[in-house]
Structure 1
């Protein structure tokens, strides 16, 4: 067996959807087995089947003792192939909204009186797994289609490093799945120019406005030089992806401009994926 994925995260964050995506990608998927049994089952599958890709769904319904012994389970699984952990997370308020809409109880509902308490307890129980996660995905604003796109990008379909450049707005929250976050809110804001307000950083008038300021060029050079220096190190470490998030206030002008300019500077040497998280909010 060559590749084993452990798919886990907060209840309501999309674990079942992620497993369906992986099944479509050719992974043999197993869900909701006790953690302690996984090494034995994986070993049996390795002997009896010629499986190249295996995905294992794990959640908080495993016993507390099993979750606390996760490090031992992880080390035993490494005997059968490379092991990556996909951890799905979602902002608390969105989880509450999802559970209210589905009318399904949280897996810990019998132990804690409120949904908020269940969510906080679950975070603590899953912490041993989260600490080992190699792929973190924030599904707060993601549809199933978005989740599939993110999985494809972050898992990679080759040994080449994929650089994900993501623009976002601080007023909508910092991305939880970013490896690096750069703040460009100090740059002049096109929002205050009424002729530019409804445009985005992809439009030529906004690009011209920002490019005329010296500090814009200085910020770009600093981020570009940092990435040019350290991306080769990530590639040599056999990372499949790295997510670089650029944030401004609303995620429409400055961050979008900077992501677009970085893409143009890096795409000759790296495989680039661009995500503009707040596009749905653009006026």
Structure 2
């Protein structure tokens, strides 16, 4: 049987990774709470992600992964919300218990949020609540959703309250919590603008303000470091390639020391003045460099997202 403990502690479990184990993360919770953000964070960790899968199909999905997948394909994340049929929520506890008995590492995560915050989020985004029908208020739809999800929140391994979290904080919380399900060290490369302050969660910070600035090129100013014209501009200057090579060489030499120290997650931040061009370019290039060598490489552009 699954014996999860519901808690508001946002720290997620760090089990020792087993390369042969199947990890199944079931993400559920209130609409507008951040389930999609959490699912994308796990997708960045190379989980095989499926949204809105009926509970009855979970055993078939796990069995398919066991037969055909290896390594990273043994990590599955499934999103479940009120778009599923009502009986799914009643059957889910039994399905998850049977999967756990079969040796699957099951993690049920419920993302909650205060009603007043949910109402504000729906109002600001002008999204329609999935249970909102003609004549049904948003507050009543949220109350009905809580009633439908009650069987899941009661057995959740973790309950995360996203009321006071922005999307970046929630994404990082999920990514750091399940980095241990990946093999080896998980790397987060993030770009930022120095004028908006240093990211407080950085393990290493690199300053790219010495490089030529595309901002001063009128045609490049509205673009970002992800765009080909900006890449071409930067790569035309040998100093940019030298900066990248020196940074990659240093990280190649020292990151293995962190793995030997049983670290599961390291954040490398690259900053420039506006956080749109030079830092974004370098983060994208560094991410590609390390993805060719390892799993669990994430990217985050603070000023673009």
Aligned to 1:136: 159
State whether residues 43 and 80 of structure 1, in contact with CA within 8 Å, keep that contact through their aligned partners in structure 2.
no
Residue from 59, 66, 69 that aligns with 1:39 = 59
Distance 1:134 1:111, change over 3 A: farther
Gaps of at least 5 residues in structure 1 are 160-283
8 Å contact 1:112–1:118 — kept in the other structure? no
| 1:66 aligned onto 2:88 | yes
Q: Hey, what's the Cα distance between the residues in 2 that align with 1:30 and 1:158?
A: 17
Aligned length: 159
Q: Is the 8 A contact 2:109 2:160 kept in 1?
A: yes
Does the CA-based 8 Å contact 2:42-2:175 persist in structure 1?
Answer: no
Distance (whole Å) between structure 2 residues aligned to residue 117 and residue 137 of structure 1: 22
Shift of 1:152: 3.8
SS in structure 2 of the partner of residue 150 of structure 1: helix
Q: How far apart are 1:155 and its partner, in Å? A: 3.8
Supply the RMSD in Å over aligned alpha carbons: 2.0
CA distance in 2, matches of 1:48, 1:12: 34
Match of 2:43 in 1: 23
After superposition, residues 171-182 of structure 1 pair within 5 angstroms as: none
Long gaps (5+) in structure 2: 1-20, 183-305
3-state DSSP of counterpart to 1:157? helix
Aligned pairs for 1:52-201 (under 5 A) are 52-78=74-100, 79=102, 81-110=104-133, 113-155=136-178, 157=180
CA distance in 2, matches of 1:21, 1:44: 23
TM-score (norm 1): 0.52
Q: Deviations over 1:194-245 (max 9, x none)?
A: xxxxxxxxxxxxxxxxxxxxxxxxxxxxxxxxxxxxxxxxxxxxxxxxxxxx
* TM-score normalised per structure 2: 0.49
1-side partners of 2:114 and 2:76: how far apart?
28
